[in-house]
Amino acid sequence: MAEIQVGLGERGYPIHIEQGCLARVGEQLASRKFAKRYAVITDDRVEVLYGRQLMRQLAVAGIEADLFAFPCGEASKNLATIGALASRLASAGFDRKDGLIALGGGVVGDITGFLAAIYMRGIPFVQVPTTLLAQVDSSVGGKTGVDIPEGKNLIGAFYQPKAVHIDPEILATLPRAELLGGLAEVIKYGVIRDRAFFTFLEERREQILALEAAAMNHTILTCCRIKAEVIEQDEREGGLRRILNFGHTIGHAVEAASSFAISHGHAVAIGMVAAARIAVAKEMLSRDAEQRITALIAAYGLPVAIPADLDRELIRIYLKTDKKVVAGKVFYILPTAIGATCITDEVSDRQLNQVL
């Protein structure tokens, strides 16, 4: 078992990473006593796979709990779901001494965290992430929220969980496309912050794709360690935390321009390669390093180029209207070496057009 502490003072929390730990979440919560009873919030797919199992062991540990599920998918990540879940909590008599457990991927985590932030002006919640993306990224760091028709994640709050329990064994049932999407975020950490981890991802590709326990434990632990270090220095994304958006500037625009036909993970993979190429054009990154980044992304079965038939003009429009645009400036996270990045708005139209 590995445990990392996210050092945020009174908002700090442990991240437990352990194969098979889903079977021990009840025991662990019984000893921590964050809340007197819990609502397990999940989606209808994860409910069937793991929800009942978690409910059984909460009961064995003597923890009173209800389970509330909503239809899986991004389409549920909205204010209507928040309203419906809040009504179910209130009808079931949940009060400010009670807590929530987010059992699921990033959609469940973002909804549950936001609900916890606003129900009775804030109740405790625990993350039990079940997708790779959620285990290495969304369950840590306290970004919570929902979408509105005008854009993704436009309503939300920074609200940290009390604990994160990560069971890598759960990934065995994850569809391959979801696993690859998570791996794009994993590669992101290597490029932005950790050269040795990047090499590990090059060398252990087969073991990682086969979800071999030692390789997965190291992978998830390293990503969570890096994310925790970044959050500790910049919890509310005033500066450093923006490096976690590496690949997301062009990635989000590609995702939106494809009307979300290109998945988030695939779009981030394309965005990371584009950012590396811009960095080469700006003479900030060596061509060798860019080629290693591109080769690693391709080796994991992720795309490295914007599809030829995707409207470039639409990508430019989405780049300029992204919510991360500040005072009309588009910011790019560019690698300066494998394991190092910079944040800049100095990308000329020519440099952008070259990669588009």
The answer to whether residue 97 is catalytic is no
Residues 6+ apart with CB under 8 A from 64: 36, 37, 38, 58
The answer to whether residue 235 is catalytic is no
From the list 315, 329, 269, the residue with the least C-alpha distance to 293 is: 269
* Run of H or E residues at 267: helix 264-281
Please identify which residue in the block is written with the tokens 């391709």. Answer: 298
Using CB distances below 5 to 8 A depending on partner kind, what does residue 88 bind out of ligand NAD, ligand GLY, none? none
Distance CA 196, CA 287 (A): 19
Q: Is the Cβ–Cβ distance between 175 and 325 less than 8 Å?
A: no
Using CB distances below 5 to 8 A depending on partner kind, what does residue 241 bind out of ligand GLY, ligand NAD, none? ligand GLY
Please identify which residue in the block is written with the tokens 């190291």. Answer: 218
Is position 143 an interface residue for ligand NAD (rule: CB under 6 A)?
yes
State phi, psi for 270 to the nearest 5 degrees: -60, -40
Q: Whole-number minimum distance, CB 66 to ligand GLY, in Å?
A: 29
From the list 217, 237, 282, 324, the catalytic residue is 237
Output the furthest CA–CA distance in the chain (Å, rounded).
63
- CB-wise, 284 or 300, nearer to ligand NAD? 300
Is position 130 an interface residue for ligand NAD (rule: CB under 6 A)?
yes
Distance CA 104, CA 24 (A): 17
Distance CA 110, CA 99 (A): 15
Query: Contacts with ligand NAD in 50-89 (CB under 6 A)?
Result: 72-74, 77
State phi, psi for 32 to the nearest 5 degrees: -90, -30
- CB-wise, 181 or 271, nearer to ligand NAD? 181
- CB-wise, 15 or 58, nearer to ligand GLY? 15
Is position 247 an interface residue for ligand NAD (rule: CB under 6 A)?
no
Taking the mean position of all CA atoms in its chain, how far away is CA 251? 14
Distance CA 306, CA 309 (A): 8
Q: Whole-number minimum distance, CB 227 to ligand NAD, in Å?
A: 9
From the list 205, 241, 282, 292, the catalytic residue is 241
Q: For Cα atoms 287, 289, 294, give the angle at the middle one, nearest 5 degrees.
A: 90
- CB-wise, 66 or 235, nearer to ligand GLY? 235
Which residue is at the shortest CB distance from ligand GLY? 244
The SS3 assignment for 306 reads: coil
Is position 47 an interface residue for ligand NAD (rule: CB under 6 A)?
no
Stretch touching ligand GLY by CB under 6 A, among 55-63, 135-143, 153-161, 312-320:
135-143
Is position 11 an interface residue for ligand GLY (rule: CB under 6 A)?
no
Using CB distances below 5 to 8 A depending on partner kind, what does residue 277 bind out of ligand NAD, ligand GLY, none? none
Q: Which residues carry out catalysis? A: 121, 143, 185, 227, 237, 241, 245, 248, 252, 264
Applying CB under 6 A, the residues found at the interface with ligand NAD are 43, 45-46, 49, 72-74, 77, 104-108, 110, 130-131, 133-134, 137-138, 141, 143, 152-153, 170, 173-174, 178, 181
